[in-house]
Amino acid sequence: MKKNNLFKTITAVLTLMLVVVSCNEKDAKTSNTSAAAAEKKVYNWQMTTTWPPNFPVVGEVANKYAEWVEEMSNGQLKIKVYGGGELVPSLEAFDAVSNGTIEMGSGASYYWAGKTPAAQFFAAVPFGMNSQQLTSWLETGGGLELWRKTYAKFNLVPFMGGNSGVQMGGWFNKEIKSVSDLKGLKMRLPGIGGKVLQKAGGAAVLVAAGEIYTSMERGVIDATEWIGPYHDYKMGFNKVAKYYYTPGWHEPGTQFEFFVNKEKYDDLPKHLQAILEAASKRAQVWVLSEFDRQNGIFLDKLVKEEGVEVREFSKETLDILRGYTDEALREMIGDDALSKEVYESYSKFQNRVSKWSKVTEQAYYNKIQK
């Protein structure tokens, strides 16, 4: 009897082992087959942007990004690009990608500052880093890792999508000689810049892009900022304002972004993930290059053909605004631990790189640049 039981037990164990082994083999085969299928599968994605369709430079680069990805992937990853409002309203892009309705989006992270204040640091901080410094922080200074950490809780993977370079300070119909000239001034100036204007006694007015020109014309607002000569010329601001102020202290190098739904990203084979990353780096180079090229052409047009007067804010004015900015940033961050972590990394990097920029870039601009 005992022998018989032992035999039965051994048989049962062996059978079980056989089942386990065959199941494992089956699993391995299935996962090999699905990995092999993913390697060949054609992915059809959608991208929703926060820009009007084909918006110069930042809208254009979304189309280029899709072309580059399709070309590099030999047609395996196709991305159809939609302007803001075509699939979802511009400012719903973040949520639509976060919940997986749409695979990816493009925008600028300061649009999402209301969801997490840390987002602000990956787009533009008044008196913050310029494009060269910010790219350095993102690429090799740990900035991109912090950006990915910030977006992870929203189920998103962010990528660099270009930088505008230093923007212009805005269009005014009176000279801004000191901070007191900002008192009572109604200006379209979004984000932290707007909070800083309010601390200086001005009023930051929210105006949709399509209504800025008429708001200036009708005196609903006294001043506006937009981007730089290329975009501003197309908006016709030179027809409704006399002075064009520089520098854009509120946007010293606005960073743009692509963001991908985390599950959709994880679902891609490794080589397609690498292609998304490579195309993002190409976008980073293309956008700044195109901004610089076009802004050079259009600044000339504005000054020579349109008689626009370019004025610089005084050092005194800027120093006071810088003080208000520090206050505004502290209020914005509040007790948010992640924002503090990002702010600390950003500030530390900025302090160090600024010293280097001062002895090289700044010396070059001051002494050599014509």
Q: Which residues bind Ca ion (CB under 5 A)?
A: 167, 251
- If the CB atoms of residues 167 and 238 are measured against Ca ion, the closer one turns out to be 167
- If the CB atoms of residues 199 and 231 are measured against Ca ion, the closer one turns out to be 231
Report the distance separating Cα 109 and Cα 315, nearest Å: 29
Report the distance separating Cα 46 and Cα 27, nearest Å: 32
- If the CB atoms of residues 98 and 167 are measured against Ca ion, the closer one turns out to be 167
Cis bond upstream, residue 190 (ω within 30) = no
- If the CB atoms of residues 75 and 114 are measured against Ca ion, the closer one turns out to be 114
Minimum CB distance to Ca ion, residue 170 (Å):
8
Report the distance separating Cα 111 and Cα 117, nearest Å: 10
Minimum CB distance to Ca ion, residue 363 (Å):
28
- If the CB atoms of residues 77 and 123 are measured against Ca ion, the closer one turns out to be 123
Residues 6+ apart with CB under 8 A from 214: 220
E strand or H helix at 233:
helix 229-235
Minimum CB distance to Ca ion, residue 227 (Å):
5
- Beta strand 43-49 pairing with 104-107: parallel
- If the CB atoms of residues 251 and 257 are measured against Ca ion, the closer one turns out to be 251
- If the CB atoms of residues 81 and 227 are measured against Ca ion, the closer one turns out to be 227
Nearest one of 69, 65, 147 to 108, comparing CA atoms: 147
Minimum CB distance to Ca ion, residue 255 (Å):
12
Residues 6+ apart with CB under 8 A from 206: 188, 190
Q: Say whether 13 sits in a helix, a strand or coil.
A: helix
Report the distance separating Cα 83 and Cα 223, nearest Å: 27
Minimum CB distance to Ca ion, residue 328 (Å):
17
- The position carrying tokens 């787009």 is 123
Minimum CB distance to Ca ion, residue 172 (Å):
15
Minimum CB distance to Ca ion, residue 225 (Å):
5
Instruction: Supply angle C-alpha 260, 133, 61, rounded to 5.
Output: 40
Minimum CB distance to Ca ion, residue 110 (Å):
10
- If the CB atoms of residues 272 and 332 are measured against Ca ion, the closer one turns out to be 332
- Walk across the sheet containing 203-204 and list its strands: 203-204, 186-188, 223-224, 170-172, 243-246, 309-312
Report the distance separating Cα 239 and Cα 236, nearest Å: 6
- If the CB atoms of residues 141 and 161 are measured against Ca ion, the closer one turns out to be 161
Minimum CB distance to Ca ion, residue 102 (Å):
25
E strand or H helix at 44:
strand 43-49
